[in-house]
Amino acid sequence: MNSEKGDLLEKLEQKRKLYFQYFILFSLFITIIAIPIFIEFLKRDSFVLIFLSIVYIVILSTIYIYFQSSWTNKLREEFIRDLIKQNFPEVDYYPKDYISKKIYHESRLFERSPKPDRYEGENLIIGRIGKTKFSLSWINVEYKETDKDSDDRIKNEWHTIFKGILIFADFNKDFSSTTVVFPESFIKISPRKLERVKLEDPLFESIFDVYGDNQIESRYILTPNFMERIIKFRQNKGEKIRLSFINSSIYIAIPTNRKFFKASSFFTSLKDIGERNIVSQYIEDLKFMTSFIEELDLNRRIWTKD
Amino acid sequence: MDSAILFLLLFILILLVIIVLIYNSLISKKNQVKNAFSTIDVYLKQRYDLIPNIVEAVKEYMKHERHLLEKITQIRTTLTSGQVNEKERFKLEGEITNILGRIFAIAENYPVLKASENFLHLQKTLNDVEEKIAAARRFYNTSVTELNNAIEMFPSNIIAKLMKLKKTEWFEIPEPNRENVYLSELFKK
């Protein structure tokens, strides 16, 4: 790794130490206030003492979470952004932003799922790699189920619709139709205004269900070569990937529990983790998110679209 | 007695519904084959339009391969005259695909030609048309398989026989030159 990266890590290490010191200071302050109160209740009321102990732990945890999230953000803003720029000069990174709900709906990938009640995300990456323009981010989409328990109290239960990476990119061929590729399911229900597209590749057919509004354009997109690439892409990214092709764009949803660009605890020194380990972990994350361009060969522009 | 008649009527009604459904499905399959073929036709005609431009662009360079250019022009003339049957047409279209593949492979040896903007544009347009022909051909073959299966399978084969439906030929590319079908593959080199 070059010395520039080393300098940056050195600066970040200084900041980490600062976060650590602030945290210790705050914790000490809280503890100093807490001790006389604890002593006061030690002999009087054990229930209040338990309650106060819980409050004390919650306050300390909140302070920890606050500093950890500030530290994560600092690392992402300063280190990850720089790392991404260095690898892909035409790409921008916004750690707190995420791909819009509009794109999520436009993708038609989750049309059969319930309407989302919670939509959040992070790690938005926007730009161009080679000839392919794209935007992607991690998102977490959930819906709420409201029920009443035996005491007639309203209970909310949250269910995940999708958690993972959603990609929106420019496709290398021009088309004006819609084609969606879902993981194979026993019951084949066509999405709105789409019909089933039966393809000749038996392996592809056994692992995906394809629907489209133009049988020929769906095949123009899903050539034998491209179907093979999608099969390999699925091997690398997981069985539940979904793809859609709408008006010359491609949408890809990769469900994953993986946390991207995760910062280590601000208790741990960056020097102890080692520059090489830090960089390689983030490069792996970046590769996971952007490798679709290479794996699906989207920079191959041999057709009329430039 | 009454219930027996009722059952018979019900049976006839169900039978009629089944016959109508099979009949309609056969008609829709037959029309799908027709539509798929007309789409291939559109793209094949787009390719006919490209051939003179390609010949014009390469003829100065490919003096030793003049026979290829003459052959493709001749096939194009035969095809546009419309005096060939379906089977012959599929064979000739396959030949066009192969000759075009060879022309573009040979063009790799002429750097000036390869770099020319006009040639590059033609190559991209042709790749597009070829991929569309391939897509339409795949859909046509899928439609033909569905129709042929219906013609052969019981009970639709009985109705198909009454409708005088006949099995349709696949649109296949001649086996020995299959590797040349996707011109785009040339770019991989």
Return the ∠ at Cα A282 (arms to A276 and A288), rounded to 5°: 130
Interface confidence, given as ipTM, is 0.81
B163 belongs to a structural domain: no
* Residue range B63-87: mean pLDDT, rounded: 89
Residue B187 confidence (pLDDT): 47
> Could you say which residues from 261 to 300 on chain A have a Cβ atom under 8 Å away from some Cβ of chain B?
300
A48 occurs within a structural domain: yes
For chain B, what percentages of helix, strand and coil (3-state, to nearest 5) are there? 80, 0, 20
Give the gyration radius of chain B's Cα atoms: 24
CA angle B146, B151, B154 (to 5 degrees): 105
Judged on CB neighbours under 10 Å (0-12, 13-18, 19+), A267 is middle
pLDDT score recorded for residue B13: 96
Query: Is A194 part of a structural domain of the chain?
Result: no
Question: What pLDDT, in 10s, does the model give residues A141-161?
Answer: 999 998 887 778 888 899 999
Residue positions counted in chain B: 189
CB–CB contacts below 8 A, A to B: 44
Q: Quote the pLDDT of residue B181.
A: 44
**A107 domain residue, yes or no:** yes
Indicate the number of domains in chain A. 1
What percent of chain A clears pLDDT 70, i.e. is strictly above it?
Answer: 98
Residue labelled with tokens 């491209």 = A226
pLDDT band at A2 (very low <50, low <70, confident <90, very high): low
Kindly state the tokens that stand for A214.
């133009």
pLDDT confidence of residue A273: 85
CATH code for the domain in which residue B58 is found: 1.20.1440.20
> pLDDT digit string (tens) for B80-125?
988 888 888 888 998 999 999 999 999 888 999 988 899 999 999 9
Q: Are A216 and B136 in contact (CB under 8 A)?
A: yes
Q: What is the mean pLDDT of residues A243-257?
A: 97
**Domain tally for chain B?**
1
Of B125, B142, B187, the CB nearest to A198: B142
Q: What is the pLDDT of residue B170?
A: 85
Question: B164 lies in a domain?
Answer: no
Judged by DSSP in three states, A182 sits in strand
Query: Does the distance separating the beta carbons of A302 and B124 come in below 8 Å?
Result: yes
Q: Does A217 touch chain B (CB under 8 A)?
A: yes
Q: Which domain holds residue B55?
A: 35-133+174-188
Residue A252: C-alpha distances to residues A87, A241, A245, B33 (Å): 22, 7, 9, 32
- Computed over every residue of chain A, the mean pLDDT equals 92
pLDDT band of A304, cuts 50, 70, 90: confident
CA-to-CA dists, residue B116 to A126, A265, B16, B47, B146, angstroms? 34, 58, 65, 20, 45
Residue at B114 is within a domain: yes
Query: In this structure, is residue B26 part of a structural domain?
Result: no
**Nearest 5°: phi and psi at A157?**
-120, 130
- For residue A211, is pLDDT > 60? yes
Token reading at A142? 């959930």
As a whole number of angstroms, the distance between CA A62 and CA A66 comes to 6
Q: To the nearest whole angstrom, how far is the Cα of A229 from the nearest Cα of chain B? A: 15
**For chain B, what is the mean pLDDT?**
87
Of B39, B128, B139, the CB nearest to A304: B128
B119, B121, B133, B139, best to mutate vs chain A, most A CBs in 10 Å: B139
CA dihedral B152, B155, B161, B167 (to 10 degrees): -20
Nearest to B99 by CA among B117, B75, B128: B75
Judge contact between B124 and A302, C-beta under 8 A: yes
Can you read off the two tokens belonging to residue A15?
A: 């900041």
| Cβ <8 Å between A216 and B182 | no
pLDDT at A158: 94
Could you give the residue ranges of the DSSP H alpha helices within A120-260? 202-207, 215-221, 224-237
B4 in any annotated domain: no
Phi/psi region, residue A138 (left: phi>0; alpha: psi -120 to 50; beta: rest), is beta
What residue numbers bound the domain in which A25 lies?
3-174+248-295
Question: Has residue B186 got a pLDDT over 70?
Answer: no
- Partners of A198 on chain B (C-beta within 8 Å) are 142
Strands (E), chain A: 91-94, 118-129, 132-148, 154-170, 178-183, 195-196, 208-212, 242-246, 249-255
